[in-house]
A and B are shown apart, each in its own frame.
Chain A
Amino acid sequence: MDIEELVDNLELLEDWEERYRYLIELGRKLPPLPDDQHTEQNKVRGCMSQVWMFPQVDDRISPPILHFLADSDAHIVKGLIAVLMVVYSGKTAQEILDIDIHAVFTRLGLEKHITPNRRNGFFSMVGRIQDLARTSLASAPSA
């Protein structure tokens, strides 16, 4: 699934209840994060819900591709993570940094979930993905 498909699917759903059901469903279909990756190191702290993220860099190809596995103990957050994975996973560092995530979430009608609330583990996760992309870009040999 790509972003366009997500936008189309969400647009089909008229009321918020159906949109949330769809998000919850997306979260349920998220590839599982292995139990041994639910570590303190992978935890993105939040006051309300917990988020874990395990990044993997595939540097067998150039430029390297970033993959993410993630999980949350809250269902809606897990659905939002699924959206984030559609947006970010399988992209290069430069592609990740070029994405205007606020614009994407606004198109999806999910903009209120991406407000900078430091207590929100989900939002911190966006920052962590971007940091990771920056680090990956900085450490890559210049072409």
Chain B
Amino acid sequence: MSLYTAHVSTAPSSRNEGGLDIQRIRQDFPALHQKVNGKPLVYLDNGASAQKPQAVLDTLVHFYQHDYANIHRGVHSLSERATRAYEAARGVVQRFLNAREEREIIFVRGTTEAINLVAATYGRTNLSAGDEIVISAMEHHANIVPWQMLCEQLGAKLRVIPMDDRGVLDMQAYQDLLNHRTKLVAVVHLSNALGTLNPVEEIITLAHQHNIPVLLDGAQSAPHLKVDVQALDCDFFAFSGHKLYGPTGIGVLYGKAALLEQMPPYQGGGDMIEEVTFEKTTYASIPSRFEAGTPHIAGVIGLASAIQYVEQIGLQAIHAYTQTLLDYGTQRLQEVPGLRIIGTAPHKASILAFRIQDIHPHDIGTILDQEGVAIRAGHHCAQPVMQHYQLPATARASLSFYNTREEIDILVAALQKTVRIFSL
């Protein structure tokens, strides 16, 4: 284990910022220390993808240099070392989510594949024509389209929990949507477009009163909140490694063992079988049943390293610190003439989406890039959210624990400059 353990350069003696020494932490991220268009990079696009700490990069290099081989196959030492590291990573994820068992952790490409897996396996075996799936008005396309495709195939119906203009779900409407035809509730934990932190405990409790399982899209929440799948009692939880400071192309589907065991395979191939003849194939038990083919071995090991890195800082400290940044950013953004924050729910985290007068977010993003500030401009793969606000796009700053108040100040100054440029 020690080989693949991340190290955080936090010196207990020089702590600040609510227990975190941000300047020391920033030293762990080589990509942060560069200039863009002659200005120091201010990276505020963490909701799209986060930068990687040196510990994760070192883990990947070390693995490829010393222990790389295919897993679950060879009797030779390298394959055994690779297999051990891969399966140890499953344990790291299990503890990260506080899942009951390691076999409840399935490695996938990302949140999108995790949701598609549930739609294609759980969905196809448990739904039929006339059944209903409940999602919310603030879903990412990854938690809309797989269900729409399933509904089209089966003649099932997609029902949507409405939200108000702050970006708060209508919980009464949600209760009214639940009925004996509802077979699954799939909602986002933390909205990527609005920053709303949804009342998922209540959503899950209400669904379970009707024996309806709940899938949480945790793409944004996993990097920011301590997620305890047993305390939440969610049935499925999906997240991506790349937003959690890990490699791209790797993610996790957590599912309760009792549900996963009932689900047919997602893809066929190597490593997911028990026995194959031309007449019949019997499938391996979970989690192997859902991991056909050679998986993203290095990605899995890199993800475990990223999780260990984040855990050494501590998710509670991360949440507390990014919450102070969010409050500071929310307050400072008001100083920009004509700026309107999109997403003003009372419970929010890490996301600051906004519009400024009638300046297009694409224009804002272009000017900000000249100032070295990276934000996202667009519909954030959540076009129904844009339709709710009747906007083609928003600008979005998304925070990480490595961001600082000074960076928020630079963002605000760059936005003020943007306003000057466009108010000719």
Interface residues of A (CB under 8 A from B): 16-17, 20-21, 24-25, 47-50, 73-77, 119
Q: Is the CB of A24 within 8 A of B421?
A: yes
Known: A47-B379, A49-B393. A21 touches B370 (CB 8 A): no
Taking the nearest CB of chain B, how far is it from the CB of A47, in angstroms?
5
Taking the nearest CB of chain A, how far is it from the CB of B300, in angstroms?
29
> Taking the complex as formed, is B128 at the interface, i.e. its CB lies under 8 A from any CB of chain A?
no
Q: Is the CB of B393 within 8 A of A21?
A: no
Bound CA–CA A75/B392 (angstroms): 14
Q: Is the CB of B359 within 8 A of A50?
A: no
Which residues of the partner chain B approach A25 to less than 8 Å between Cβ atoms? Answer: 424
Residues of chain B from 347 to 372 with CB closer than 8 A to chain A in the complex: 359-363, 365-367, 370
Counted as pairs of residues, one from A and one from B, with CB atoms less than 8 Å apart, the total is 48
Q: Is the CB of B360 within 8 A of A20?
A: no
Which residues of the partner chain B approach A119 to less than 8 Å between Cβ atoms? Answer: 378
Q: Is the CB of B361 within 8 A of A75?
A: no
Bound CA–CA A24/B392 (angstroms): 20
Taking the nearest CB of chain B, how far is it from the CB of A76, in angstroms?
5
Q: Which of B360, B367, B379 has the most CB of A within 10 A?
A: B360
Residues of chain B from 312 to 362 with CB closer than 8 A to chain A in the complex: 359-362
Which residues of the partner chain B approach A76 to less than 8 Å between Cβ atoms? Answer: 362-363, 366-367
The 8 closest A-B pairs by CB, nearest first: A74-B360, A49-B362, A74-B362, A48-B362, A48-B378, A47-B378, A76-B363, A74-B363
Known: A16-B370, A20-B367, A73-B360. A48 touches B377 (CB 8 A): yes
> Taking the complex as formed, is B64 at the interface, i.e. its CB lies under 8 A from any CB of chain A?
no
Interface residues on B, range: 10 to 19
Taking the nearest CB of chain B, how far is it from the CB of A45, in angstroms?
11
CB-based nearest B residue for A75: B363
Bound CA–CA A73/B421 (angstroms): 17
Taking the nearest CB of chain B, how far is it from the CB of A112, in angstroms?
9
> Taking the complex as formed, is B422 at the interface, i.e. its CB lies under 8 A from any CB of chain A?
yes
Known: A48-B377, A48-B378, A49-B393. A21 touches B424 (CB 8 A): yes
CB-based nearest B residue for A18: B421
Bound CA–CA A76/B37 (angstroms): 18
CB-based nearest A residue for B381: A47
Which residues of the partner chain B approach A16 to less than 8 Å between Cβ atoms? Answer: 37, 370
Bound CA–CA A16/B37 (angstroms): 10
Q: Is the CB of B370 within 8 A of A48?
A: no
Q: Is the CB of A24 within 8 A of B377?
A: no
Name A49's contact: one of B360, B367, B417, B422 (CB within 8 Å): B360
Q: Which of B363, B365, B424 has the most CB of A within 10 A?
A: B363
Which residues of the partner chain A approach B378 to less than 8 Å between Cβ atoms? Answer: 47-48, 119
Bound CA–CA A20/B422 (angstroms): 10
Taking the nearest CB of chain B, how far is it from the CB of A133, in angstroms?
26
Which residues of the partner chain B approach A49 to less than 8 Å between Cβ atoms? Answer: 360-363, 392-393
Q: Is the CB of A17 within 8 A of B377?
A: no
Name 18 interchain pairs, CB-CB below 8 A, sorted by A. A20-B366, A20-B421, A21-B424, A24-B424, A48-B361, A48-B362, A48-B393, A49-B360, A49-B363, A49-B393, A50-B392, A74-B360, A74-B363, A75-B359, A75-B363, A76-B362, A76-B366, A77-B362
